């Protein structure tokens, strides 16, 4: 057992140990995330799933180095991160393309920062644009694209920086289910082609099972690790797997874990609203 | 809809307005001694151009506005950036800058004449001071309004503070900055022409004052049309500059 743990630790490209995040609010201190520990192996696709309010996005910010005030440590290749790390490429939930740059210039952005000559960086950018299936749209501006296409531009921009770890925070949350499944296929294809280590933050069970090697299920506030589930579905995968019996079993298993947490979240929200109403009425 | 549709509709509205005014004046409902008929204004254009040295006056007003415009852009954007960068300064002076935007700076023209003398610099400086606040305020608003996710994208790529500003915040704030520059140019033009009128010096404002003194109302309105032309030229130039700096909003 000890040997297995050591070998897992040696394999790990990203390690989170006892990560805890506390906020001061008007109603007192709130623990958003409590003692979260996990490892991501080289080339692995790990999803973190949990109900709204479990601190998933806060954890995304900690791993991405955007939130410094936390307890515990996050290490990339053994190096403790204290800010944004060059090995981690982030894809955000909100639309994050630069509206003043066309597609190719958006994707070439990280290459421009490295001082790569223009011709070379445009060629590299075109390669990643093709990879996300946007060939032919190089000269369009984000305002001329759909939401799904804009998220693919963001993904291509992050991939262009060739990060060791791709960190994504619900990148397709604003899209409809069908587009989400098809874009999930695209991400899977790219991840399998590049053998890209990927950490996906999501609240969508189907998306998590469709893409992941392992799924970390979080509890509602404070967010803790409830369970880590190995997804033993064959690879290469596509969205066709959604109809399979094993897929359904994994979805049911995760929903069983999440239902109680999501219900707790709902109750908490209702109490919060009632508390505010009572507070408003008494004042 | 054809791309000429809105232009044609706009011109048609203008023609209808002039036709309506002509009819009201001809019927005696509006006194022709107060508002000259559009037909007389049209006829007076040739006379104003030939006899009143309009070309030189037009260029004087244009160059005064251009100088004030360049100054408000340089100092206004820099001022907005400064207020964004130093929160204490922002909290201390933002209200004063907003108050200055509403102040009738033009009434302080005697003070400017004492400082700069009766020359173009008095006109330019009043235009500059009156037009500076909207550029500062809209630059500040644009920088403060930069979406957090874009700043986080910059942080995730480890951008330096200077890269973060020039590659993300400034281009993100450009639409708001250009709104400020457009507003500033309107303020500058009004004040430049107003001060030329008041101190009887310089370009089109002085001509308007001269023609009004002579009670040449058709000529006065024709000269006002040239002021509008200055304004149109400025707006076209600003739009071109904005398209060049930020092709799509």
pLDDT surpassing 90 at residue B163: yes
Between CA B77 and CA A119, with CA B242 as vertex, the angle to 5 degrees is 105
Residues of B in contact with A60 (CB under 8 A): none
For A220, the enclosing helix (H) or strand (E) is none
Query: Closest Cα to residue A174, out of A142, A144, A151?
Result: A151
CATH ID of B52-245, from 1.10.3720.10, 3.20.20.220, 3.60.9.10, 1.20.1740.10: 1.10.3720.10
Are A84 and B158 within 8 A, CB to CB? yes
Rounded to the nearest integer, the mean pLDDT of chain B is: 91
Residue of chain B with shortest Cα separation from A166: B156
Q: Give pLDDT tens digits for B7-45.
A: 899 999 999 999 999 999 999 999 888 888 999 999 888
Domains and CATH numbers, chain A: 2-87+163-282 (3.40.50.300), 99-161 (no CATH)
| Span(s) in chain B for CATH 1.10.3720.10 | 52-245
**How far does B77 lie from chain A, in Å, by closest CA?**
19
Q: Give pLDDT tens digits for B79-135.
A: 999 999 999 999 999 999 999 988 889 999 999 999 999 899 999 999 999 999 999
The highest-confidence range among A50-54, B45-49, B152-156, by mean pLDDT, is B152-156
Residue in A96, A121, A173 to test binding to B, most B beta-carbons within 10 Å: A96
**How far does B113 lie from chain A, in Å, by closest CA?**
44
- Is the minimum CB–CB distance between B168 and chain A shorter than 8 Å? yes
Number of H helices, E strands in chain B: 11, 0
Q: Which of A106-110, A219-223, A267-271, B4-8 has the lowest mean pLDDT?
A: A267-271
Residues of A in contact with B155 (CB under 8 A): 65-66, 84
SS3 A108: coil
Average of pLDDT values for A44-62? 92
pLDDT surpassing 50 at residue A2: no
Average of pLDDT values for A56-64? 93
Residue of chain A with shortest Cα separation from B152: A66
pLDDT at residue number B248: 66
pLDDT surpassing 80 at residue B232: yes
Interface of B with A in 135-154 (CB under 8 A): 147, 149-150, 152-153
CA dist B11 and B2 (Å) reads 15
Residue A15 forms beta bridges with which residues? Answer: A39, A75
Say which of A99, A141, A161 has its CB closest to residue B157. A161
How much of chain B, in percent, has pLDDT values that exceed 70? Answer: 99
Say which of A65, A84, A143 has its CB closest to residue B248. A143
Residue A199 forms beta bridges with which residues? Answer: A46, A167
Are B156 and A66 within 8 A, CB to CB? yes
Say which of B147, B155, B163 has its CB closest to residue A84. B155
Binning pLDDT at 50, 70 and 90, where does residue A3 land? very low
Residue of chain B with shortest Cα separation from A163: B157
Are B152 and A86 within 8 A, CB to CB? no
How much of chain A, in percent, has pLDDT values that exceed 70? Answer: 95
pLDDT at residue number A128: 94
Give backbone dihedrals phi and psi of A201, rounded to 5 degrees, phi first. -100, 125
């Amino acid at each position: 057992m000890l040997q297995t743990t050591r070998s897992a630790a040696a394999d790990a490209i990203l390690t989170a140990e006892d990560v805890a995040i506390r906020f001061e609010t008007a109603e007192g201190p709130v623990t958003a995330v409590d003692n979260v520990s996990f490892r991501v192996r080289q080339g692995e696709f790990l999803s973190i799933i949990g109900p709204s309010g479990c601190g998933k996005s806060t954890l995304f910010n900690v791993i991405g180095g955007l939130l410094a005030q936390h307890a515990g440590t996050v290490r990339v290749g053994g190096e403790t991160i204290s800010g944004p790390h060059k090995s981690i490429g982030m894809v955000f939930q909100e639309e994050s393309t630069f509206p003043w740059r066309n597609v190719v210039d958006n994707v070439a952005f990280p290459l421009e920062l490295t001082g790569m000559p223009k011709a070379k960086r445009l060629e590299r950018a075109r390669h990643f644009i093709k990879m996300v299936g946007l060939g032919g749209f190089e000269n369009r501006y984000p305002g001329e694209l759909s939401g799904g296409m804009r998220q693919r531009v963001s993904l291509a921009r992050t991939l262009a920086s060739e990060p060791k770890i791709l960190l994504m925070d619900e990148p397709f949350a604003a899209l409809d289910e069908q587009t989400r499944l098809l874009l999930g296929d695209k991400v899977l294809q790219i991840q399998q082609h590049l053998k890209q280590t990927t950490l996906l933050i999501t609240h969508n069970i189907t998306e998590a099972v469709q893409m992941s090697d392992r799924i970390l299920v979080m509890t509602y506030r404070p967010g803790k690790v409830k369970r880590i589930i190995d997804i033993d579905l064959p690879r290469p995968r596509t969205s066709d797997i959604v109809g399979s019996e094993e897929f359904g079993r994994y979805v049911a298993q995760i929903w069983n874990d999440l239902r109680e947490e999501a219900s707790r979240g709902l109750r908490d929200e209702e109490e919060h609203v009632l508390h505010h109403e009572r507070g408003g009425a008494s004042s | 809809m054809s791309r000429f549709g809105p232009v044609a509709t706009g011109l048609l509205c203008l023609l209808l307005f002039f036709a309506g005014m002509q009819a009201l004046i001809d019927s005696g409902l509006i006194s022709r001694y107060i508002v000259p008929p559009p037909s007389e204004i049209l006829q007076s254009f040739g006379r104003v151009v030939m006899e009143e040295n309009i070309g030189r006056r037009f260029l004087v007003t244009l160059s005064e506005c251009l100088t004030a415009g360049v100054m408000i852009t340089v100092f206004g954007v820099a001022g907005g950036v400064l207020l964004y960068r130093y929160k204490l300064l922002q909290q201390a002076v933002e209200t004063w800058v907003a108050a200055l935007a509403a102040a009738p700076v033009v009434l302080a023209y005697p003070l400017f004449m004492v400082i700069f003398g009766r020359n173009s610099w008095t006109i330019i400086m009043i235009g500059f001071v009156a037009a500076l606040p909207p550029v500062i305020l809209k630059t500040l608003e644009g920088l403060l309004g930069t979406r957090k996710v874009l700043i986080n994208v910059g942080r995730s790529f480890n951008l330096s503070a200077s890269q973060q500003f020039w590659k993300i915040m400034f281009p993100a704030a450009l639409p708001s900055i250009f709104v400020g520059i457009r507003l500033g140019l309107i303020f500058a033009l009004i004040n430049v022409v107003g001060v030329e009128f008041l101190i009887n010096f310089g370009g089109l404002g002085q001509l308007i004052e001269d023609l009004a003194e002579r009670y040449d109302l058709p000529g006065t309105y024709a000269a006002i049309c040239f002021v509008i032309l200055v304004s149109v030229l400025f707006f076209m130039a600003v739009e071109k500059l904005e398209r060049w700096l930020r092709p799509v909003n």
